[in-house]
Structure 1
């Protein structure tokens, strides 16, 4: 995934011949990320606990292949992460892109956050991406292949938010994990970056958008004055997955309508 000298700039964004593993791919951000990578030419391995037939249909309509795996990634072990990648490689022998998107949020005051809720969020949002990245990197090292890992962070990687202590902690952790893995694996041509979405039109923000007063206050703070849409991450994920970002690692690209600049 290193760019050859004098490659035409638009060709740098092409992903033909690559395969991307996308978790949480059945809907929302994950679906949009999978479709964007497919449009750039990558074959897709779509992983989710939910139904994947529709996203597979949409991916294949872009002229690429799609393999699906229904899996609950909570409680992931190193062994189950390794098995997932062994299976993925039977579909596409040399996956070069991993998008760690699957996640959950539990809302409520910190004084009422239970240990089980705390553990569930940290497990899926932080431990699972680490174990998947670990298994993916081992595979890439075995193949002596350049690769790209893209973690889905959040504006809550930089802020505390309100009544989402476990989510904020997990997304701060994802930012630290991104930087730590980037430092360690850059010499092996494995780049690790993150995308930090702002307040997007997904189930995660339904509570904000359904409260008229809160929605008005939040939209007033966003410089663009609008909620983001999952499709708005397309350019960011293709950039970070492709040779266009060959010298980019350890960074978080905010796609937030300007929220963090306020």
Structure 2
């Protein structure tokens, strides 16, 4: 009698529509590349149109599909109009984010509001709007937030940032519960410190770099490529039974 072998689920995204915010650089750009390479048509979203156009052209040179949407996702009216006017997205990766680090005693109301407006409010309503389109069309989907290891621990000078990312983990779980029966999965990816343009000043500070390296058990800082497999996994059928959770790509930081 022949053994019936299980079949590995596909990591391919051919025919899928994906939207990536914060796609003009860093982690968002890497996520967009990973999804496009896997076959998705990717809508590249950010405020910087020139960078988005350059990325779209580079993807086209590879034979991959994309379009550009210049948008500030904290403008909820504009966000609503764009999502409502487009076909439902099968995959969303929200990589737009903001950090304003300071001791908690120095936090200003403006800093707090700016961080929460993008990291929490815009993220929440982006997922709400996309999910409503999926529910109306009776389609499955995968909604992914680029969160942070700081959604699971605390850090010096990071009270506001930590609070915002903990909030993202909270609504991720609640949305996963609400939309699970419709086949809409909601998860986060929680990176450690990743080398990007935005983190360059942190890595240039010897004391800060030493603090970071002392917590990463794999003995190196993160690269954007370290997140590309994670986002592809959560976007694809390979993670069909994964929802309401966080995938930590933190080099062991939170293992303590």
TM-score when scaled to structure 1?
A: 0.91
Q: Provide structure 1 residue ranges, at least 5 long, that are not aligned to the other structure.
A: 1-5
Q: CA RMSD in A?
A: 1.7
Deviations 1:108-159 (A, max 9, x none): 1111111011001001001001111011001101111110000111011011
- 1:1-262 equivalences in 2 (<5 Å): 8-9=7-8, 12-50=10-48, 51-74=51-74, 76-77=75-76, 79-87=77-85, 89=86, 93-262=87-256
Paired with 1:127 and 1:214, the residues of 2 have a C-alpha distance of 29
Paired with 1:52 and 1:7, the residues of 2 have a C-alpha distance of 41
Paired with 2:253 and 2:179, the residues of 1 have a C-alpha distance of 31
Paired with 2:22 and 2:216, the residues of 1 have a C-alpha distance of 26
Secondary structure at the counterpart of residue 47 of structure 1 = strand
Q: Provide structure 2 residue ranges, at least 5 long, that are not aligned to the other structure.
A: none
Q: Give the number of equivalent residue pairs.
A: 251
Preserved contact between residue 88 and residue 130 of structure 2 (Cα < 8 Å):
no
Secondary structure at the counterpart of residue 116 of structure 1 = helix
Preserved contact between residue 181 and residue 192 of structure 1 (Cα < 8 Å):
yes
Secondary structure at the counterpart of residue 145 of structure 1 = coil
Structure 1 segments of 4 or more deviating over 3 A?
Answer: none
Deviations 1:162-201 (A, max 9, x none): 1122111110001111101000000111000100011110
Preserved contact between residue 105 and residue 204 of structure 1 (Cα < 8 Å):
no
After TM superposition, the structure 1 stretch with the greater mean CA deviation from structure 2, 182-191 or 55-64, is 55-64
* Residue number in structure 2 paired with 1:3: none
Preserved contact between residue 44 and residue 59 of structure 1 (Cα < 8 Å):
no
Q: 1:204 offset after TM fit, Å?
A: 4.0
Paired with 1:217 and 1:103, the residues of 2 have a C-alpha distance of 23
Q: 1:107 offset after TM fit, Å?
A: 1.2
Preserved contact between residue 173 and residue 186 of structure 2 (Cα < 8 Å):
yes
Secondary structure at the counterpart of residue 126 of structure 1 = helix
Preserved contact between residue 35 and residue 58 of structure 1 (Cα < 8 Å):
no
